[in-house]
Amino acid sequence: MAITETVDRILDAAEILFAEKGFSETSLRSITGKAKVNLAAVNYHFGSKNALIQAVFNRFLSPLNDLMVIGLKANRWGEKDGNIPTIEDVLGLYTRSLLKIPTRHHNGVSIFMRLLGLAYTQSQGHLRKYLEDEYAQTFWPFLSLIKQITPELSTKERFWRTQFVLGSMAFTMSSIQQLTDILENKAGSTPNPEEVVDYLVPFLAAGLNAPSVKKVNVSSD
C-alpha cells in the first residue's frame, strides 16, 4: 500500500493555486514548489497536468456524492407519496451537503465552489467531459426533486431555471473572495460562505417558485 504523502501534498497545493489563479495560469513548477516536491513527481503520480486537475476535483466530488445520497435517504423524500419537500428543503439539502464536505483547510468549500465555477466557465474540454460523467450522477436526484416540486413548469422553463440556480451558486461562490473585498469597502464585516448561502437559498427558492412565463412581451416603443 504505502499511502504516499507526496500525492496529498501535490493535491493540497494544486487545489489552492488552481482556485487562486485558474488552471492554465498555474504552472506545475509553482505547484511542486509550493508542495515542496520534485517537479517530476506530478507526471510520475498523475501522468499529466490534466489528470492532476481531475484528481483535484475527484477529491471533492466523491464525498459530495456520498453526502447527497445519505442526505436523500435521511429525509424520507423521493419515493414516498405525500411527503413532498419544499424547494427550500431541496436547496438546503444541497447547500448543506456542500458545506459538509470534509476539507483540509477552513476555506475548503469556497475553494471547491470556485473550482466548480472555473470549470464551468473556463471549460477545458477534458474537464467538461469528466464533470459531465462524474458530477451528473450526483446531480440527478437533485434535478429529480426539482421536477417533482415544480410540476406546473414546462420542461424547457424548468431546465433554464435550474441553470439559473446553478449559475448563481457557482458564480457567487467562485467570486466570493473578490466580492467580499468589495463589500468590505462598504461594510466592515467578513462574510463566510455559510452566511452567503443563508442569503442565497431563499433568493433561489423564490426564483424557482416564481409563476410560469406564458407569453413575454416587453416591447417598449
Alpha carbon separation from 191 to 78, 103, 123, 143, 185 (Å, rounded): 34, 19, 28, 29, 13
In degrees and rounded to multiples of 5, residue 123 shows phi and psi of 50, 75
**Looking at beta carbons only, is 2 or 74 nearer to a copy of itself?**
74
| Alpha helix ranges (H) inside 75-107 | 87-100
- Told to check if 76 binds a copy of itself by CB under 8 A, we report no
In angstroms, the CA 162 to CA 141 distance is 13
- Told to check if 5 binds DNA by CB under 7 A, we report yes
Q: Among 43, 62, 121, 148, which residue interacts with a copy of itself (rule: CB under 8 A)?
A: 121
Alpha carbon separation from 158 to 56, 58, 144, 194 (Å, rounded): 31, 28, 11, 26
Neighbours of 218 (CB within 10 A): 4
- Told to check if 38 binds DNA by CB under 7 A, we report yes
Q: Among 25, 84, 104, 184, which residue interacts with a copy of itself (rule: CB under 8 A)?
A: 25
Q: Among 63, 69, 103, 120, which residue interacts with a copy of itself (rule: CB under 8 A)?
A: 120
Which residues contribute to the site for a copy of itself (CB under 8 A)? 22, 24-25, 74-75, 88, 92, 96, 114, 117-118, 120-124, 128, 155-157, 159-161, 163-164, 166-172, 174-175, 178-179, 183, 186-187, 189, 191, 196, 198-211, 213, 216, 218, 220-221
